[in-house]
Copies of this chain bind each other. A is one copy, B any other.
Amino acid sequence: MNRSALRQFCGIFFGLLLLPGAAIGAQGLRGTGDLGVVIERAAGQIQVISTTEQATLATIPGLGDLSHASVVFSRDGRFAFVFGRDGGLTKVDLLTAQIVNRVLQSGNSIGGAISQDGALVAVSNYEPGGVRVFDSTTLELIADIAATHDGGLSKVVGLVDAPGNRFVFSLFDAGEIWIADLTTPKEPVLHKFSAVGRQPYDALITPDGRYYIAGLFGEDGFALIDLWHPEKGVRRILADYGRGKERLPVYKMPHLEGWAIANRAAFVPAMGQHEVLVVDTDDWRARATIPVHGQPVFVMAQPDGRYVWVNYAFPDNEVVQVIDTETLTIASTLSPGKAILHMEFTPRGEHVWISARDDDRLNVYDTRTLERIATLPADKPSGIFFTARANRIGL
């Protein structure tokens, strides 16, 4: 019996022991392309869900502090890597519903990414700062990238993967953006951009992996790097979007990873304004400003680019708005529940899953009819992540 057969055999017997509690046990032989993970932040656990059955398959506890947690997936879609606020990096097997490995890799982390080839998982840290890179199979530490600044380490944000087994990230305290090339994993080659702007707080990479764009907290505007032409340096875009306006208190930092690229425009949450900014992706100039219901948090495009969905910071977080990307107007305003924290589209866009934390509920909407077609109970749900992310650049 070869090793894989043995592992499978043991997995089955373990699965049988769990019966009839199979609801929280092994998933058995099944595809992983329609699976997803939902963060239950208060309980420190995750749900494994199926977008086909629209059902919870398992609940996995023991993941530590999951406030602001995020998830990436192995290239086969079987394993989730969960980044916790407590610095925990947990590898979860979605098929057996078990924690495979868990390391407390720092005191306070903010997110992570998986390399293009799937071999490396990188974590960006607040306390201490820097980026740590782990073997995705064993979680062995492969590289420790010291984001040095002023004799200490800078907080690191906006960490994304880029083509060529690179990671790109921003140094909040240092005002820098670094590209780390992990072609030789234990010897990262760093390309540093300094003076990109004050306090980059988050970033995204366009779906083709070409443009890296960091939002600035310490000043207006965004820092843009064309990764096809790093020699051109950093370009400031939307430098005057808040000029002449009083910035409102920022209740929640907008997320940029969810930026929407649709119909030749990027739809961007304005910091401290009730606005979504529309940027032309040809010349990266402002095309329009769309007044919206509150301070946008996530601004996410349907996979077909026809509409962009927006949720909002407290106290406006009971509403989701749908923007028509042709007319740049609000096509619809939905009330999916209390404290809408996150949205995730099925990969081909027929449905969107929306978490309502204070209703302890997941909502599934049909994107065509805008009708709610299912709800699932969940314990203070926040982030929702589907395995199709494994096949995308920058997610």
Interface string of A315-337 (1 = CB under 8 A from B): 00000000000100000000000
The listed residue (B11, B28, B76) touching A33 by CB distance below 8 A is B76
**A208 in the interface (beta carbon within 8 A):** yes
B-facing residues in A18-38 (Cβ within 8 Å): 19-20, 22, 26, 28-35
A5, A20, A350, most chain B CB atoms within 10 A = A5
Beta-carbon contact of A391 and B393 below 8 Å: no
Beta-carbon contact of B75 and A33 below 8 Å: yes
- For A347, the chain B residues whose CB sits under 8 A away are 390-392
**A185 in the interface (beta carbon within 8 A):** no
B-facing residues in A127-168 (Cβ within 8 Å): 161, 163-165
- For A304, the chain B residues whose CB sits under 8 A away are 163, 208-210, 393
- For A388, the chain B residues whose CB sits under 8 A away are 391
Question: Whole-angstrom distance between the alpha carbons of A12 and B10 in the complex?
Answer: 11
Q: A16-B9, A303-B393 are in contact. Are A326 and B95 (CB under 8 A)?
A: no
- For A4, the chain B residues whose CB sits under 8 A away are 28, 30
Question: Whole-angstrom distance between the alpha carbons of A210 and B50 in the complex?
Answer: 27
Q: A208-B305, A303-B393, A348-B163 are in contact. Are A30 and B116 (CB under 8 A)?
A: no
Beta-carbon contact of B28 and A8 below 8 Å: yes
CB distance from A18 to the nearest CB of B (A): 9
Q: Which residue of B lies closest to A387 (CB)?
A: B33
Beta-carbon contact of A32 and B29 below 8 Å: no
Beta-carbon contact of A348 and B95 below 8 Å: no
Question: Whole-angstrom distance between the alpha carbons of A267 and B32 in the complex?
Answer: 33
Q: Which residue of B lies closest to A76 (CB)?
A: B31
Beta-carbon contact of B7 and A29 below 8 Å: yes
Question: Whole-angstrom distance between the alpha carbons of A304 and B19 in the complex?
Answer: 45
Q: A77-B32, A118-B52, A350-B165 are in contact. Are A12 and B22 (CB under 8 A)?
A: no
CB distance from A54 to the nearest CB of B (A): 11
**A78 in the interface (beta carbon within 8 A):** yes
Interface size class of A (residues with CB under 8 A): 35 or more
Question: Whole-angstrom distance between the alpha carbons of A392 and B9 in the complex?
Answer: 34
**A306 in the interface (beta carbon within 8 A):** yes
**A368 in the interface (beta carbon within 8 A):** yes
- For A70, the chain B residues whose CB sits under 8 A away are none
Beta-carbon contact of B348 and A34 below 8 Å: no
Beta-carbon contact of B32 and A33 below 8 Å: yes
A22, A31, A52, A183, most chain B CB atoms within 10 A = A31
CB distance from A163 to the nearest CB of B (A): 4
The listed residue (B11, B52, B163) touching A29 by CB distance below 8 A is B11
**A1 in the interface (beta carbon within 8 A):** yes
Q: A31-B77, A76-B33 are in contact. Are A228 and B326 (CB under 8 A)?
A: yes
Question: Whole-angstrom distance between the alpha carbons of A303 and B79 in the complex?
Answer: 23
Q: Which residue of B lies closest to A94 (CB)?
A: B31
**A44 in the interface (beta carbon within 8 A):** no
**A117 in the interface (beta carbon within 8 A):** yes
- For A349, the chain B residues whose CB sits under 8 A away are 116, 163, 393
Contacts A31-B94, A31-B95, A32-B77 aside, 20 further interface pairs with beta carbons under 8 A come to A5-B16, A5-B28, A7-B28, A7-B29, A8-B29, A26-B29, A29-B29, A33-B33, A51-B75, A52-B76, A52-B118, A75-B348, A163-B306, A163-B348, A208-B262, A210-B305, A303-B393, A304-B393, A347-B390, A348-B392
Instruction: Offer 21 A-B interface pairs, CB within 8 angstroms, sorted by A.
Output: A1-B16, A2-B22, A5-B19, A8-B15, A30-B76, A30-B78, A31-B32, A31-B78, A33-B33, A33-B387, A34-B118, A51-B75, A52-B75, A161-B348, A165-B350, A183-B368, A208-B262, A208-B303, A208-B304, A264-B282, A348-B393
